[in-house]
Chain A
Amino acid sequence: MNEDHDRIEELLAGYVLLGLSGEDAIEADRLLSEHVPSCPRCRDAMAGLHAVAGDLALAVSPVQPPDLLLPRIRRGVAETPVRRRHRASLVAAAAGVAALVGLAGLSVQLGNRVSRTEQQRGRLLAAMEALQQPGTSPVSLQSQGETAAGLVEVSGPGVELMYVIGRDVPMPAQGRVYQLWLGSNGIFVRVEDGEFVPDDGLVLLELTVDAGRYDEILVTEERIGDTPASPSHLGHTWHAFLARAA
Chain B
Amino acid sequence: MQEDDRLDLELHRRVLVGDRPAFEGLYRRYAPAAYGLAFRVTGQVSLAQEVVHDAFLALWRAPEAYDPGRGPFRSFFLSLVHHRAVDMVRKEERLRRRAERASNLERGSGEDVAVEVVEDAYLSTRRKEVREALLTLPPDQRTVVELAYFGGYTQAMIAEELGIPVGTVKTRTLAAMRKLRRALYRED
Cα distance, A22 to B112, chains bound together (Å): 33
Docked complex: B132-176 residues within 8 A CB-CB of A: 134, 145, 148-150, 152-156, 158, 169-171, 173-174
Asked if B1 is at the interface (CB within 8 A of a chain A CB), the reply is no
Residue A108 at the chain B interface, CB threshold 8 Å: no
Q: B36–A61 contact, CB under 8 A?
A: yes
Query: Within residues 79 to 100 of chain A, which ones have a CB less than 8 A from any CB in chain B?
Result: 80, 82, 84-89
Would B53 and A86 count as touching, CB distance under 8 A? no
Stretch at the interface among A68-76, A142-150, A153-161: A68-76
Dominant secondary structure of chain B at its interface with chain A: helix
Let me know if B64 and A13 touch, CB within 8 A.
Answer: no
Q: Are A17 and B148 in contact (CB under 8 A)?
A: yes
The CA-CA distance from A175 to B80 in the complex, in Å, is: 6
Query: With A60-B37, A69-B52, A225-B80 given, is the CB distance from A17 to B20 under 8 Å?
Result: no
Residues A175 and B65 in contact, CB atoms below 8 Å apart: yes
Q: Is the beta-carbon distance between A63 and B75 smaller than 8 angstroms?
A: no
- Number of A residues contacting the other chain (C-beta, 8 Å)? 61
Note all chain B residues with C-beta closer than 8 A to A86: 17-18
What 0/1 readout, one digit per residue, does chain A (178-198) give for beta carbons within 8 Å of chain B?
Answer: 000000000000000001110
Q: Can you list 15 pairs linking A and B with CB atoms under 8 Å apart? A: A10-B174, A17-B148, A17-B177, A47-B71, A51-B72, A53-B79, A55-B130, A56-B130, A58-B131, A60-B36, A63-B117, A65-B34, A73-B53, A197-B64, A197-B65
* 6 pairs of A and B residues whose beta carbons are closest in the complex: A54-B75, A225-B58, A62-B32, A85-B18, A57-B78, A19-B148
Residues of chain A whose beta carbon lies under 8 Å from any beta carbon of chain B: 6, 9-11, 13-14, 16-22, 24, 47-66, 69-70, 72-73, 76-77, 80, 82, 84-89, 171-172, 174-177, 195-197, 199, 223-225
